[in-house]
Amino acid sequence: MIAVKDRKLALWNIGIAYIAFIIGTFCGLLQVFVRNDSLQLPKFLDYYQILTAHGVLLALIFTAFFIFAFLIAGMSKTLGSFGPKVSLFAWIGLWTTAIGTTMATVMIISGKASVLYTFYAPLKASGWYYLGLALFIIGTWFTSFALLGHFVAWKKKNKGQFSPLFAYMTTATLLLWIIACLGVVATVVFQYLPWAFGLTDTINVELSRSLFWYFGHPLVYFWLLPAYMAWYVVMPKIIGTKVFSDSLARFSFILFILFSFPVGFHHQLTEPGIDSFWKFLQVVLTFMVIIPTLMTAFSMFATFEISGRNKGGTGLFGWLRKLPWKDVRFSSLFIAMLFFIPGGAGGIINASFQLNELVHNTLWVVGHFHITVGTPVAMTFMSVTFWLIPYLTGREFPKHLQKLAHIQIGTWAIGMLLMSTAQHLLGLLGAPRRTAYAGYNGNESAAEWFQGILSNHVTMAIGGTILFFSAMLLVYIVANLMFVAPKVQDEKDLVEFPIAESDTSHTAKFLENWGIWVGIAVALIVMAYALPLYDMIQNAPPGSRGFITW
């Protein structure tokens, strides 16, 4: 079991993550009923307030705190206990991030930051909101550098050895996060803060959006890579086999570092201020991310088949019956992976030059976001929750909570299937995103948004309600595992931290040469961004004053 001080650090991160989860999911519930015109919010609460809170608290706060809890616990498990400097920096990071989160949340709740998750200029929030976001990022950097320092110290003590696969993947994830955050830090510090506090009158809108999406797309992989870590490293142990290929797993993470940065313009294909050549270049680079995704899919299903056949499965699909379906740690991961198949297919549509024109500003994008982040990533985090919290608290995972966990996972899958399917179909019909309820004066096309069985705002609301029920069930399970479940009397009965064995005998040494991969990533970033960003600055329009529309 990892050291008590490391456990406390991870548990604090988990606790803050689930506080954000509670508030964020409640805001999501309110949203689907407002969109359905079934709920009128009180005067002190605005739809765009809850939309902003939902996006920020779930997509940014919940994910970041939970990811760092997972990485902290895993690094302590695989590389040994943290030294005093690592612990100090990690705690500074936690509290800095928590202070920034609190500031940003207070600004949203008080109605001074209804600028949505993307905080696009020229919508203008309170300067204290942007300062809170800056502190949030700075705090995560403290924790990131602490964990990277722990990795470097281990490498110095174990020269010539391959780092454990979990630690290697953690390092890749943190490098991705640090490099990605440079964009949002640049725009917040040098554009938004002076603008919001009145030091400058206008803001370069196109530059601010481009710097945001330089960060915004790698952010997706910051969510996804820890889920991949659970798939590659944790899942094989749960089903009783080894990592399928150590070198494949490491190389897939390297490819995500290389191809997750120079692709932000595919979120801006409809914006006129970027030359089509740069958009096309980044669309091509976006499609390169399909390669490590397919590598991961191949590795996962090969792992399933090997495990099933080792347990006696025969025939073409007989191995499926031998998998541990009654173990919620496995079943939740398997369902999460299945959801990622349509999610990935939708991502290819979003990144396409032509098809993006059809879906860009519609509910399709919201459906895609939920079926990728809200299902594969979230359900993987739920699977990790079911064993990580009891491991850290030294408590049991009782049978009745395991049964509730199966119900929770099932209801989350059903709710997300209903809601995201409705959002995809409504988007194809033309229903817009980022808006509250609108009947468009009974326009015939708008009326179609409310008439189908699945393509219906009512279906979306039903799915959202089931999701909220599932979320509260998860919170109940988490609270029990944190504070109520019986303590384990004998350490040998402790819930395990499942780390699968990984054979490095055929793994190439150059995969551990981080200088090569970071250098290539920087070269790709410069190639994709240097000239268009220079053009946005050199030939900048007059700029825009701030707008407060709420």
Cβ–Cβ under 8 Å, residues 188 and 130:
yes
Considering 298, 360, 434, 450, which one is annotated as catalytic?
A: 434
Q: Which two tokens stand for residue 523?
A: 């070269």
Q: Tell me whether residue 253 is one of the annotated catalytic residues.
A: no
- Give 3-state DSSP helix, strand, coil % of the chain, rounded to 5: 75, 0, 25
Read off the DSSP letter of residue 475.
H
Radius of gyration of the chain (CA): 23
Cβ–Cβ under 8 Å, residues 98 and 139:
yes
Q: Tell me whether residue 329 is one of the annotated catalytic residues.
A: no
Instruction: Report phi then psi at 498, rounded to 5.
Output: -75, 110
Furthest CA-CA distance within the chain: 71
What's the full length of the chain, in residues?
A: 550
AA letter at 264: G
Q: Tell me whether residue 221 is one of the annotated catalytic residues.
A: yes
Q: What is the DSSP string of 78-106?
A: HH-PPPHHHHHHHHHHHHHHHHHHHHHHH
Q: Tell me whether residue 370 is one of the annotated catalytic residues.
A: yes
Left if phi > 0, otherwise alpha if psi is -120 to 50, otherwise beta: which for 481? alpha
Cβ–Cβ under 8 Å, residues 423 and 363:
yes
**Counts of helices then strands in the chain (DSSP H, E):** 21, 0
Angle 36-37-40 from CA coordinates, rounded to 5°:
130
Q: Which two tokens stand for residue 367?
A: 């459906």
Instruction: Report phi then psi at 306, rounded to 5.
Output: -60, -45
d(CA 374, CA 388): 20
Q: Tell me whether residue 266 is one of the annotated catalytic residues.
A: no
Alpha-helical (H) ranges within 352-491 are 356-359, 363-372, 378-393, 399-429, 444-447, 457-479
Other CB atoms within 10 Å distance of the CB of residue 272: 8
Other CB atoms within 10 Å distance of the CB of residue 385: 23
Cβ neighbours of residue 157 under 8 Å, at least 6 residues apart?
none
End-to-end CA distance of the chain: 51
Considering 54, 250, 267, 368, which one is annotated as catalytic?
A: 368
d(CA 522, CA 509): 21
Considering 65, 221, 222, 265, which one is annotated as catalytic?
A: 221
Question: How many angstroms separate the Cα of 104 from the Cα of each of 48, 52, 63, 114?
Answer: 15, 11, 16, 11
Helix or strand (DSSP H, E) at 311: none
d(CA 512, CA 155): 10
Instruction: Report phi then psi at 466, rounded to 5.
Output: -60, -40
Considering 7, 54, 209, 217, which one is annotated as catalytic?
A: 217
Cβ neighbours of residue 469 under 8 Å, at least 6 residues apart?
411, 415
Considering 47, 130, 192, 369, which one is annotated as catalytic?
A: 369
Considering 433, 457, 497, 529, which one is annotated as catalytic?
A: 433
Considering 35, 267, 370, 395, which one is annotated as catalytic?
A: 370
Question: Which residues are tagged catalytic?
Answer: 217, 221, 368-370, 433-434
